[in-house]
Amino acid sequence: MATLPNPLPGLAADPTGRSLGLERPLPPGRSIDTTDEGPWHEPLLWYADEPAEPGAWAAAQPARRTAGLLPVLLDVGDGQGGPEEWELMPGEMSYPGDHDPEEVLADLWETVAPDGDTAGDGMGAGDWPGLAETAGPADGGPDPDALAAEVADALLAGRTRLKEPRLALVPARRSADIPAAIGWGGPLNHEGDVARLCAVLRSWEDRFGIRVVALGFDHLTVSVATPPTTGAEARHLAAEHIAFCPDTARQTTPDTYAKTLLGADTWTFWWD
């Protein structure tokens, strides 16, 4: 697999990030190379030393075009510390593009399928219903990156889901790859190779215009530019969510959970 040059070492000589074409200087921060097996051979991410404020995401977005650095919010206030304490595992991750998202979900579905007719299509618990169909991003619909900035601002303004959010920059080909790029282990008790879940995130990028907006030690929030608009589509998508993160819908029924997906511009996942 060909890898892109990592621009993070350049921030040591240019900590403001002005060479990245940013609209405003980066706050003081640090590059992280700490993994579960010692220092990685290059920085995995940069993140700020101070809490992020609304507007931070949008100001960092030009780094995607100029340097291949993607913004994400990291929650360091949930009792697990910052990413240097998360025991990141980049060496144990494969490449998201090597996995078929439907095969990944079908495999996971076999282990977590709930009782009853989850997909709402007459299928029993043992039947994987396949990927939810969608018309894709509609003309005149929200731009996924612009919506991601709006969702990030809403999370930063509300501070209800994120305890202490910090702006971070990650070298990755696309937003869906961010968890694998840093070797994130949040879903470890459900799936040991997060690149397989990133393959699903790639599929959701293509079908629903998602962007990875926030990561905590064991939780993930994405923005959704084109959410489901019909009950049938939402019920079908709920099966994907249950396979991806069974803890998400554990406190409710699949049909009730599906209703929360209608028109929702954010999805949040949490792994026990």
Q: What is the pLDDT of residue 134?
A: 75
pLDDT at residue 112 in the model: 86
The CA distance from 253 to 128, in Å, is: 17
Q: What is the rounded radius of gyration, in angstroms, for the C-alpha atoms of the chain?
A: 18
Query: Tell me, what's the pLDDT at 19?
Result: 83
Q: What confidence score (pLDDT) does residue 136 get?
A: 60
User: Do 138 and 200 contact (CB within 8 A), yes or no?
Assistant: no
pLDDT band at 100 (very low <50, low <70, confident <90, very high): very high
Tell me, what amino acid is at 33? D
- 181 or 135, which is more confident: 181
Return the sign of the alpha-carbon dihedral for residues 165, 36, 183, 12: positive
CA angle 212–217–73, rounded 5-degree value: 40
Using pLDDT thresholds of 50, 70 and 90, give the confidence band for residue 237: very high
Confidence of residue 124 (pLDDT cuts 50, 70, 90): very low
Residue 122 has pLDDT above 90, yes or no: no
User: Which of 227, 226, 268 is CA-nearest to residue 245?
Assistant: 268
Question: pLDDT tens, 155-200?
Answer: 999 766 788 999 999 999 999 999 999 999 999 999 999 999 999 9
The pTM score is 0.92
